[in-house]
């Protein structure tokens, strides 16, 4: 059914642990490994009518471990790899801040760092997104909290190689082994 206002659902997807292997503060191309099934999952979501929007906290920038330029270089690499596999993303939003460990201007309790909904709301401002028909897939409770605060209709967790904590386990949202399993379940 076509929305009379031209709004589309978005699939908001966390990056580290959902799209690529979870490693501490991935910021170099040689560290970046796309997880199995991710291109297929993204293609499936796109075919189901979702805009593909990556939303990622990047506290390593705020902590001074790498620069925004490093992040953008890795993002271009990620986008090119996914596009080559027919799984291009529409947009990438990131938060470089950290409220307590940030350095200089990055030490901010901002509205964009998940669990706050700022990145999702920015995407809604920039794109014709229907939040109620949208979904979010993350690997931490902060992802789920951001989705819920933004009014995202469905949220899910994936296992990113580390155990889900008690907050994630008690969240009441579905948990899948990976992004592909989540995409299959959420689009069926």
Residues labelled catalytic: 14, 16
- Name the β-bridge partners of 157: 138, 175
Nearest-angstrom CA–CA distance, 40 and 169: 26
Q: Give the residue carrying structure tokens 């979702």.
A: 50
Q: Which two tokens stand for residue 76?
A: 């271009």
Strands of the sheet with 154-158, listed across from one edge: 91-95, 51-57, 10-13, 135-138, 154-158, 175-176
Alpha-carbon separation of residue 92 from 66, 88, 119, 168 (angstroms) = 18, 11, 9, 24
């Amino acid at each position: 059914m076509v929305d009379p206002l031209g709004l589309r659902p978005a699939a908001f997807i966390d990056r580290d642990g959902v799209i690529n292997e979870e490693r501490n503060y991935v910021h170099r191309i040689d560290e970046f490994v796309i997880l199995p099934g991710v291109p297929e999952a993204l293609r499936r979501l796109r075919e189901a009518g979702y805009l593909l929007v990556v939303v990622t906290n990047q506290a390593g920038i705020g902590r001074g471990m790498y620069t925004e330029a490093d992040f953008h270089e890795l993002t271009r690499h990620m986008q090119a790899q996914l596009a080559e596999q027919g799984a291009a993303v529409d947009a990438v939003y990131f938060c470089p801040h950290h409220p307590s460990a940030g350095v200089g201007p990055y030490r901010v309790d901002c509205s964009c760092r998940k669990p706050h909904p700022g990145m999702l709301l920015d995407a809604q401002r920039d794109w014709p997104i229907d939040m109620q028909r949208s979904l979010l897939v993350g690997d931490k409770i902060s992802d789920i909290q951001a989705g819920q605060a933004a009014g995202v209709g469905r949220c899910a967790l994936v296992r990113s190689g580390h155990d889900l904590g008690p907050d994630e386990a008690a969240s009441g949202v579905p948990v899948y082994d990976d992004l592909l399993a989540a995409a299959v379940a959420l689009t069926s």
